[in-house]
Structure 1
């Protein structure tokens, strides 16, 4: 059941409709224990455009206020597009004249982020993150540090009047605001070659295509099919994927993310995520000899070993199968599998499956201790403790389902 939204959200909707954002048949709503979302304000038909964020309302690297520093000089080449957006927000978001102030007033506070985002958690809680989530967290920390160093260097080179020093805590907060609210944008409103593109269009990477779209961040994520997002040179659109009755919550998909990704990047996990998977790197890599490690690296089969939800039982990826074959059967048989010449015999598959069962049993033995360590977290970490416990129970369930399915085959 949706609750009444606060005045800040009402003000933002009014601001949005005056600043290039068309809202049709939907509105923000507050849900007990889950924060904000989007509901249908009337019956909606499949194919209806629900939201249009005009390209002029999108904040991207090509936006005039982002493209250059406040002094008019170019940003350091060492500062990522993500970092430039974060620096812009850090400089302006507390300004009463900030052009996006109405939107800024609806964002989560640093206090709220400290509860849900692992980057703010204590070292003790971070150490209890699943392996995949911990890897994402490490990457976030590394990227934030690199961006902040680039921003700090810019501050030193600029006069205090034209470029005030940015507080690191504020920068981390705005960096995570960008991280939790960015969409992919291909600068469709610009020519193929433009001085305001971070590089030539053919050389754009995924990290160049960050953009922030006011209002679209109200849509909560679903692991299943949700409303469709579309883009053209006029901006972003959200289109109904099916008929909806008035009062129904509407979702959009952030992508086929695992729960570890959702936890590290957005601060939540899904109860039932059809795209969930766990990494097995920490089980497989320690068993490799140096020679095996180097050969798998040269064959581009080193790491990213995953166990995913499947139907009717969990499945391992092709990379995992290749590595397990190299560990358990003669090299020539691994080479045939790696080259795609031979999928292996049933007898070989049994050997591989038996080895995998042993690895999963090894993993299962650590869960009791892990859950005890999670329960031992201080009471002030209650929300973090609950999230970690839920996630480790999900992982244990996936591991056991895979183990039992493999045993039935042996």
Structure 2
């Protein structure tokens, strides 16, 4: 029996594929020597532009375990507090280690492995991780490496702000860590950043699930029962009651207590070989799980596949903002993509009034302000970058799946309502939550207002969607890799806005 984990990652940008391909033979031999079981799959590239991934070597049935990695051969951290003594000992101050974000802690471990300060393996059989380190990418094409000019090519202020905050937070984490390292470890900012990017692009996460299956308590209980009954110390029924207590105790320890005591604990894991799996938004052919009985992590097929076909995993509902910022690629027609418009308070209200032929009441604006629907007034770059507060400024979310955020549509119905429509709704913003709740004309003009705001956003770009698509057809004339990524990114964002406009007709 294995426990499913929410896969949240992808391997990093395809850089130095040829050199990594040369090193993968030594890595595969190292994996085999260290108990990593691989069957029906190999590391390969399906073309000059596809990079490295996991490719099937035979027809694969559904639910077949393709890779199994012992826990002792993986790297992991737990949040909010990690109890990895060997890793935390790399830092002279354990509190400093625990103050690092999870990927900063994994960066420290990766760099220690890269410098042969740490080894891998269970028990006394410790092995160097050099063959694994040699197949990890050494360069990334994520926006943290973009120049200011290349960031501007994204034509998306939200991501530019997010990247700048990311730079600030990562450097501050490094500055704190570097002054508290033990003497046997040297770590440059470039090393730390490399480790963070490897961790961000190769780790998967899941809620803390307790320990793996341990046969020793059961074997010891069986021995005691045999002696208890065999020596005539008691009846078989009494022995069975004692055994039941042991079984129940282990079930509580492995399954119940972790959910109660560690419900807020998250585990992040990097597994050699599994970390070579690439991402697809929909239709993933593989799934990562924790194997309770074998104390390891597995990659299993969740659908049948043929030989010479890449096995993909999914790391969840990732927008292109997240995919580009942390993994260095853009997914075409990403079903989970979003666009963040400026908050309503920054919209051109006069342009909306002209489009809908109505005047917005100042009183209605005040109502929206009090309800917190106009967006935050403070989204300065001095804020510490937080991944769980990436929309701190209250930007208007437009998603490929749902269109304009329903809460924003509710706000717009109230904002553009006439006095009669406002009174008909009981002068309450909450009564505008449902489509046509303000009447047919109110709904038509609400859609027109939303459409106008999106059209203004598209018109503000330095290039049109048509310009960008024509540039794509020119095969990236005089563009470097970062500019190509920026071009693909902004095309996807503009297509999302164009499609949303069509839905609002």
TM-score by length of 1: 0.81
More deviation, 139-148/64-73: 64-73
Who is 2:411 aligned against? 323
Contact 2:375 2:395 survives alignment (8 Å): no
Structure possessing the higher radius of gyration over alpha carbons: 2
Paired residues in the alignment total 383
In the alignment, does 2:292 pair up with 1:272? no
Aligned to 2:461: 367
Please point out which of 250, 258, 261 is paired with 2:322: 261
**Root-mean-square deviation (CA), in Å?**
3.6
- Give the structure 1 partner of residue 278 of structure 2: 220
1:133–1:261: 8 Å Cα contact kept in structure 2?
no
Contact kept, 8 Å, 2:92 with 2:180, in 1: the verdict is no
* Aligned equivalents of 1:106, 1:184: Cα separation in 2: 22
Q: CA, structure 1 residues 315+72, in 2 after alignment: closer, same or farther (shift >3 Å)?
A: closer
Q: CA deviation at 1:228?
A: 2.1
Q: 1:245 aligns with which of 298, 306, 321?
A: 306
Deviation at 1:235, TM superposition (A): 3.0
Distance 2:169 2:366 in 1: 30
Q: Hey, what does 2:288 align to over in structure 1?
A: 229
Structure 2 counterpart of 1:134, from 118, 136, 160: 160
- Counterpart in the other structure of 1:146: 172
Q: Answer with 49-58 or 217-226: which moved more.
A: 49-58
The structural deviation recorded for 1:350 is: 1.5
Q: Are the counterparts in 1 of residues 153 and 487 from structure 2 also a CA contact under 8 Å?
A: no
Distance in 1 (alpha carbons) for counterparts of 2:36 and 2:344: 49
Residues 1:326 and 1:18: Cα distance change in structure 2 (over 3 Å) = farther
Larger relative contact order, structure 1 or 2 (CA cutoff 8 Å, min sep 6): 2
Offset at 1:257? 1.1
Distance 2:41 2:313 in 1: 13
State yes or no: 1:125 paired with 2:186: no
* Structure-2 separation of matches of 1:7 and 1:173: 21
Matches of 1:402 and 1:201, distance apart in 2: 41
* Structure 1 residues 99-128: Cα deviation after superposition (integer angstroms, max 9, x where no partner): 321111111123xx1xx2110110111233
Given candidates 27, 31, 37, the residue that maps to 1:22 is 37
Match of 1:88 among 109, 133, 138: 109
Once the two structures are superposed, residues 306-338 of structure 1 have per-residue CA deviations (whole angstroms, 9 ceiling, x without a partner) of: 22224xxx6222233233334323483522245
So what's the TM-score if we normalise by structure 2? Answer: 0.67
Map residues 8-407 of structure 1 onto 2, 5 A cutoff. Answer: 8-30=23-45, 31-61=47-77, 64=84, 67-70=87-90, 74-76=94-96, 77-95=98-116, 99-110=128-139, 113=140, 116-129=141-154, 130-155=156-181, 158=182, 161-162=183-184, 164-190=185-211, 201-204=262-265, 208-226=266-284, 227-233=286-292, 234-280=295-341, 282=342, 284-287=344-347, 292-296=368-372, 303-310=394-401, 315-329=403-417, 330=422, 332-337=427-432, 344-369=438-463, 382-407=480-505
CA shift for structure 1 position 272: 2.7
Q: Structure 2: any 5+ residue segments left out of the alignment?
A: 1-16, 120-127, 213-252, 350-364, 377-390
